[in-house]
Chains A and B, each alone.
Chain A
Amino acid sequence: MQNFISWLGQSSVAQAIQISGWMFPTIESVHVIAISLVVGVIAIMDLRLLGLTSGTRAVTAVSRDTLPWVWAAFVLAVISGALMFVSNAETYYNNRAFLIKMGLMVLAGINMLVFELITFRSVAQWDRDVSLPAPAKIAAALSLSLWIGVVVFGRLIGFTLDFFSGGASQYLTTLR
């Protein structure tokens, strides 16, 4: 694994991003847009599941409106995120904030799978209810919390990387 990571870090893609002044900030801007849309549009669905918004609209209708955008934005976030990772693979790989962020995303994925494969099967019985069964509400609360965590730890990566070490980073060494 370590070999693969250092090979990535020395690949021609990594070198191109490192040498270029504009590529990293551009990729990062795309990543911010993509992750904002992933989190924000997922929140629209989560708030419906919690019974807080869109109460007059069926759960399946809100899901139809939001899911395609979530997936499109997620693909963009993965591509831009992967490029950022490759550009400094070893540093990210050894960064605790990055690893926590990845862990939170895995948990969010498991939460979504459980919801889709188990809870959502009985959607026909509660599609138009405002207050939904507990498993749906729990899945929504978990999803909101985990994605907020993804944003927080994502932002922390920038404060804990050696190549961006500013004044704050010395205090955040526990995450490095």
Chain B
Amino acid sequence: MLTFAEWIAQTAISQWLQVQGWWFVPAVQSIHILAIAVVLSSLLMLNTRLLGLSGSGLSIPQVAHRYLPWLWWGLPILAVTGTLLIVAEPVRSLWNVAFWIKMALLLVALVLTLRFQGYARMDPGFWENAANKTRIRGYAVLSLLVWLGIVFGGRWIGYVNA
């Protein structure tokens, strides 16, 4: 992985970003954070609805319909800007335990979200069923915690050096 990171660092685009593109990293990071704002806020509204803390008068499928597209549009923007940030600073980001913890948590978050979406699509009665209440609330808390962990992991990339 270190060799791979060092190879990226030698490519023309990475060299340009490191020398002339000084404005590029802060600009891409700003877009990255704005996309995080979109994703986290959509998840907050979705999961607080599951917990019964917001969206009164709206059904869970309605709330999902309102916010899930924002989540799915935000994620590719995060992937693209995130990849550009790796290209700009390959060794610092790839040779970094915080980065890999973040990626592992992201995988967990994606599986959780897809499962949730599957339930929301398949069976509208699932959400009304009182027997599922604990499961739904547990899912909401877990989803929020995993996403918060992803942000922590992302911010720690800047501080961890191995």
Contacts and interface: CB of A to CB of B under 8 A. Distances in A.
Chain A complexes with chain B = yes
Interface of A: 21, 24-26, 28-29, 32-33, 35-37, 39-41, 43-44, 53-54, 57, 61, 64-66, 69, 148, 151-152, 155-156, 159, 167-168, 171-172
Contacts of A159: 25-26
Task: Using C-beta atoms within 8 Å of the partner chain, give the interface range for chain B.
Answer: 20 to 34
A56 to B, nearest CB: 9
A157 B145 CA distance: 28
B40 A148 contact: no
B37 A44 contact: no
Interface of B: 18, 22-23, 25-26, 29-30, 33-34, 36-42, 44-45, 48, 54-58, 66, 148, 151-152, 154-156, 158-159
Contact of B22 (A37, A44, A172): A172
Given A36-B41, A37-B40, A44-B45, A29 B155 contact: yes
A40 B38 contact: yes
A63 to B, nearest CB: 12
Contacts of B54: 65, 69
Given A32-B36, A36-B37, 9 more contacts: A29-B156, A33-B40, A35-B37, A41-B41, A41-B45, A54-B66, A64-B56, A159-B26, A168-B22
A31 B35 CA distance: 16
